Protein backbone atom coordinates (compact mmCIF):
# COMPACT_ATOMS: atom_id res chain seq x y z
CA UNK A 1 0.00 0.00 0.00
CA UNK A 2 1.37 3.41 -0.96
CA UNK A 3 2.19 5.95 1.75
CA UNK A 4 0.13 8.97 0.68
CA UNK A 5 2.03 11.22 3.10
CA UNK A 6 5.09 10.98 0.86
CA UNK A 7 3.18 13.24 -1.54
CA UNK A 8 4.52 16.81 -1.46
CA UNK A 9 0.94 18.13 -1.13
CA UNK A 10 0.28 16.27 2.15
CA UNK A 11 0.51 18.55 5.21
CA UNK A 12 1.18 15.65 7.57
CA UNK A 13 3.76 12.89 7.35
CA UNK A 14 3.90 9.30 8.52
CA UNK A 15 6.75 7.81 10.53
CA UNK A 16 8.23 6.67 7.21
CA UNK A 17 8.09 10.22 5.90
CA UNK A 18 9.76 11.50 9.08
CA UNK A 19 12.51 8.89 8.83
CA UNK A 20 13.13 9.69 5.18
CA UNK A 21 13.21 13.43 5.87
CA UNK A 22 15.81 12.89 8.59
CA UNK A 23 17.82 10.58 6.32
CA UNK A 24 17.36 7.65 8.68
CA UNK A 25 15.84 4.19 8.47
CA UNK A 26 12.28 3.56 9.56
CA UNK A 27 13.45 1.20 12.31
CA UNK A 28 15.94 3.76 13.65
CA UNK A 29 13.27 6.45 13.71
CA UNK A 30 10.71 4.28 15.52
CA UNK A 31 13.31 3.37 18.16
CA UNK A 32 14.67 6.94 18.48
CA UNK A 33 11.45 8.93 18.39
CA UNK A 34 11.12 9.25 22.20
CA UNK A 35 14.66 10.69 22.36
CA UNK A 36 13.92 13.03 19.45
CA UNK A 37 10.70 14.25 21.07
CA UNK A 38 12.65 14.87 24.27
CA UNK A 39 14.79 17.22 22.18
CA UNK A 40 11.77 19.06 20.79
CA UNK A 41 10.86 16.92 17.79
CA UNK A 42 7.13 17.39 17.12
CA UNK A 43 4.85 14.66 18.44
CA UNK A 44 2.14 13.03 16.38
CA UNK A 45 -1.20 14.81 16.12
CA UNK A 46 -3.57 13.11 18.58
CA UNK A 47 -6.44 12.96 16.08
CA UNK A 48 -4.65 12.13 12.82
CA UNK A 49 -1.81 10.03 14.22
CA UNK A 50 0.60 11.79 11.86
CA UNK A 51 3.26 14.48 12.26
CA UNK A 52 2.90 17.95 10.75
CA UNK A 53 5.57 18.31 8.07
CA UNK A 54 6.08 22.05 8.63
CA UNK A 55 6.82 21.36 12.32
CA UNK A 56 9.43 18.77 11.34
CA UNK A 57 11.07 21.22 8.93
CA UNK A 58 11.02 23.94 11.62
CA UNK A 59 12.63 21.55 14.12
CA UNK A 60 15.38 20.74 11.62
CA UNK A 61 15.95 24.44 10.86
CA UNK A 62 16.12 25.25 14.58
CA UNK A 63 18.91 22.68 15.03
CA UNK A 64 21.11 24.39 12.46
CA UNK A 65 24.40 25.58 13.90
CA UNK A 66 25.42 27.92 11.13
CA UNK A 67 23.05 30.65 10.03
CA UNK A 68 22.64 31.80 6.45
CA UNK A 69 24.79 34.77 5.55
CA UNK A 70 22.84 37.98 5.08
CA UNK A 71 24.43 40.23 2.49
CA UNK A 72 23.79 43.96 2.69
CA UNK A 73 22.80 45.54 -0.64
CA UNK A 74 25.53 47.48 -2.40
CA UNK A 75 25.07 51.14 -3.19
CA UNK A 76 25.08 52.16 -6.84
CA UNK A 77 28.36 53.27 -8.36
CA UNK A 78 29.18 56.88 -7.70
CA UNK A 79 26.38 57.41 -5.20
CA UNK A 80 27.46 59.68 -2.40
CA UNK A 81 25.66 59.68 0.93
CA UNK A 82 24.32 63.07 1.91
CA UNK A 83 24.05 64.51 5.40
CA UNK A 84 20.29 64.04 5.49
CA UNK A 85 20.62 60.30 4.96
CA UNK A 86 23.31 59.99 7.63
CA UNK A 87 21.18 61.67 10.29
CA UNK A 88 18.44 59.10 9.75
CA UNK A 89 20.48 56.57 11.75
Q: Is the pLDDT of residue 88 over 70?
A: no
22 lies in which domain range?
9-62
In a domain, 89, yes or no: no
In a domain, 18, yes or no: yes
In a domain, 14, yes or no: yes
- How do residues 15-44 score in pLDDT, each as one tens digit? 999 999 999 999 999 999 999 999 999 999
Count of structural domains within the chain: 1
In a domain, 81, yes or no: no
Q: Is the pLDDT of residue 77 over 90?
A: no
- How do residues 40-66 score in pLDDT, each as one tens digit? 999 999 999 999 999 999 999 999 888
Please report the pLDDT score of residue 43 as a whole number.
98
- Taking the C-alpha atoms of residue 2 and residue 63, their distance in angstroms, rounded to an integer, is 31
- Taking the C-alpha atoms of residue 30 and residue 21, their distance in angstroms, rounded to an integer, is 14
pTM of the model: 0.73
In a domain, 53, yes or no: yes
- Taking the C-alpha atoms of residue 87 and residue 89, their distance in angstroms, rounded to an integer, is 5
Amino acid sequence: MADLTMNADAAYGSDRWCATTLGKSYDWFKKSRPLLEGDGFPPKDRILGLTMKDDVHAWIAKRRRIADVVVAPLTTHGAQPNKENLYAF
